[in-house]
Chain A
């Protein structure tokens, strides 16, 4: 019930936020922040109530009741579809990330002059609801439903409140994700139908489908269906091209949510579905997937370096960072997967912050073109310092979460394939190149004489502080997150292990 409420609070809250527009333009954002905070506290309140040992229980792959929380309701019995939500450590981490970044994204748009504030905030809340649904859904039909539903408000955010190229960007975003989503739908249905022909009953339950025998050739195709959908969302090379456009054109809050949270659904899908459902096929495919990961890491970094648009640069850096996630998932061992999860969380914060900075710059300078910036540290030292921190985080500076993530991924990958690790490690160098050039172009260099701009204010600094603290905490003491995720990984390993060789330290 808690899980359902988590989603319902956001859905209903979105409607209220929309309605509250009538009370005044500043009401919707207040309502929105309040709603997300309530949701967050609601979840934290539950967490405070459970014994800590429960977090280390390895959830059984066949039995949702061993999970932290589960909620099931018959929905469409005709096809064995149920409204089935469940939460384990992995989902918990991601839901928490979603809610925290949700608050931050609303704050990030606090000072933007957006028309129809109510609908704007409603869309943000609905996107969050969709994302949380994705993280919690344990029925593949339901999962797909949330997967698609979160696109619509996101699309509206870009299409309505985006920047100059929003038509192209929003369309590209929707078509890429929708098209790949259809491939996934096909794969989901094919899997369910295989289950039907094997057992005689329809079921879309993750737990049932895990044990569905799939003939090898078929498994490869179905795995690809899932894989492409998730990799488009991740985004992985060469399906990433929607991302720079979408990120660049989205309003700040949209970029924050898109980069901070939405991309993680792809990574989550890979971990939760692609590999466990088709272990053998995924293993066969792993070299290609890892190659795509490396290509993304390098390609994203190279293109990030050459961008002149601040937001585009950050967007390409996301491509690069999410390449590590792809690597981590397909290396498929504890170290690499922990790294991948850590990367999801850390990248969520670091990129969200960079997009907020980009948004703040755009709001103040009315441009995102770095050729028209330079020397901004002089005018806005606080923003400069914050940007510096996140630039360093993005290049994988030890002591912040991103380093832990990338190190673990590469360490885990090394046991699987040293040469790929070496290639991926090039990303560490290229990351330094683009992160530093970003600082140089925007904040260093000769200040403009007649520029008068406001530095980061109280509210923005607080949001930044949250993310800085979070990243440092993840960088110096990531253990709570690791501990929450480890049992889930153990459970996934046990699902996969019967069919595939797992390498590395488990």
Chain B
């Protein structure tokens, strides 16, 4: 059992810190203390990954598997959580008095995500997903008093709940036929001959499971909630949602995919291809003339998930993990870092006002002339999202391309190229907006005093770190590549 604890050290640390934080709030509210505790929790958990790495892979109960893969994603999740925590301080300062629960919810949500990436069983999958989700609902609605966050939260809660229900019902159907709930077990059972009438149940179940997962990943046509929730949620939370929630779910999906050997089923692969193509095209088209920055990023995330799905389909073609998993993990890491950077910058821009976020494209008009550094960093983040070289986004795209070509998935690649072509427009539109001379003295300009955006040392550190990571991994990706190449699943 001792190694069991060691194997789950990081989640345990997070849980313990969450408990401490809860008690601190109960005894005496103090924003800085809570913030410090949140930071400590994340940092300790990251440190805890080291002893975990020594003993992996290690199965802890049939539900959770600590391996290199889950460690890597845990690290990403904790890193995202830490970044969000760091940024939240400035962001929340001007908003309302009681911020303490925010950090608690972040910790819980991250805990859910970590469980999700270790899940090898429907039960742990369900637990992780819901822990992640329920904390997020609260996070979305929590910091502000406006209507938009509330609407976003309730939409997310209900739709996400419905998606969970669909997913569960799907699993229930599969369980009814196969009699097992562990991923590996499902895979093994699926290879046995299945009665004709039960195949319908399997099919229905699979469709429902993928509907649920597709919703959480905002795959077309289950994507509709995404822009509303992204827009309504406070920026740091949006960032967290975009990175941690999406990343963890995809990581879990990948594990399910491999453990249950779903990649063998051509029908499923073909259906996923259709969804991927639809996501790439629809996501990018939806973002095309969008004026709200958060919505743009939401739509772009839909497209990115479409790109990411290419790796799954490649897996199906190649029938072996090698390049596909490497591509998926790299792309996901790249996307997480880049999104974090983008949302961090948006969060900084919105830090100095107390009500809504400055998320309309007109708000950042002329940013280049007032805050060249900030504008340049946002430009780099956007270029990384667009997959322009020297940024990590390009290497990610390079991986997708390579994987796609290895699998000869020409149709998907065509969609990828068309989608990327379209995406250039809306990314550059933001860049162009920042370079425009005269802020049209309307909506945003009034709210945004040219000198109001003051970067605290903390924010500076965070964005510089993220930009550095984006560029470093874009220029010298070899180390990460090697590491990801060695991840076993």
Say how far A72's CB is from chain B's closest CB, in angstroms.
Answer: 16
Residues of B within 8 A of A183 (CB): 417
CA distance A78 to B479 in the complex (A): 9
A119 with B372, Cβ < 8 A, contacts A79-B402, A179-B421, A190-B405 known? yes
Residues of chain B from 359 to 410 with CB closer than 8 A to chain A in the complex: 368-369, 372, 383, 386, 388-390, 394, 398, 401-402, 405-406
A170 adjacent to chain B (CB < 8 Å)? yes
Question: Are the CB atoms of A182 and B435 closer together than 8 Å?
Answer: no
Residues of A within 8 A of B431 (CB): 155, 159
A 263-304 to B, binary, CB cutoff 8 A, 1 in contact else 0? 000000000000000000000000000000000000000000
A149 adjacent to chain B (CB < 8 Å)? yes
A189 with B402, Cβ < 8 A, contacts A159-B432, A159-B435, A175-B424 known? yes
For the residues of B in contact with A, the DSSP-based class is: helix
* Nearest A residue to B485, CB-CB: A78
* Nearest B residue to A145, CB-CB: B389
Residues of A within 8 A of B369 (CB): 115-116
B 464-480 to A, binary, CB cutoff 8 A, 1 in contact else 0? 00000000000011100
CA distance A160 to B421 in the complex (A): 22
A477 adjacent to chain B (CB < 8 Å)? no
Residues of chain A from 140 to 174 with CB closer than 8 A to chain B in the complex: 141, 144-145, 148-149, 151-152, 155-156, 159-160, 167, 170-171, 174
B201 adjacent to chain A (CB < 8 Å)? no
Question: Are the CB atoms of A174 and B428 closer together than 8 Å?
Answer: yes
Question: Are the CB atoms of A189 and B405 closer together than 8 Å?
Answer: yes
B 424-442 to A, binary, CB cutoff 8 A, 1 in contact else 0? 1100110110010000000
B196 adjacent to chain A (CB < 8 Å)? no
Give the size category of A's interface with B. 20 to 34
CA distance A170 to B428 in the complex (A): 9
A77 adjacent to chain B (CB < 8 Å)? yes
B449 adjacent to chain A (CB < 8 Å)? no
Count the B residues whose beta carbon is within 8 Å of the partner chain — how many?
A: 31
For the residues of A in contact with B, the DSSP-based class is: helix
A171 with B478, Cβ < 8 A, contacts A115-B369, A145-B390 known? no
B284 adjacent to chain A (CB < 8 Å)? no
Question: Are the CB atoms of B481 and A171 closer together than 8 Å?
Answer: no
Residues of chain B from 131 to 185 with CB closer than 8 A to chain A in the complex: none
B413 adjacent to chain A (CB < 8 Å)? yes
Question: Are the CB atoms of B420 and A182 closer together than 8 Å?
Answer: yes
Residues of B within 8 A of A116 (CB): 369, 372
CA distance A167 to B417 in the complex (A): 23
B482 adjacent to chain A (CB < 8 Å)? yes
Question: Are the CB atoms of A189 and B401 closer together than 8 Å?
Answer: yes
Residues of A within 8 A of B394 (CB): 145, 148
Instruction: Taking A149-B388, A171-B428, A178-B420 as given, write out 10 further A-B residue pairs in contact, using a Cβ cutoff of 8 Å, ordered by the A residue number.
Output: A116-B369, A148-B389, A149-B389, A149-B390, A155-B428, A160-B368, A171-B425, A182-B421, A185-B401, A189-B402
Give A contacts to B, CB under 8 Å: 75-79, 115-116, 119, 141, 144-145, 148-149, 151-152, 155-156, 159-160, 167, 170-171, 174-175, 178-179, 182-183, 185-186, 189-190, 193
Pull 16 A–B residue pairs with CB atoms less than 8 Å apart, ordered by A. A76-B478, A77-B478, A149-B390, A159-B432, A159-B435, A167-B432, A170-B432, A171-B425, A171-B428, A171-B432, A174-B428, A179-B424, A182-B417, A186-B413, A189-B405, A190-B405
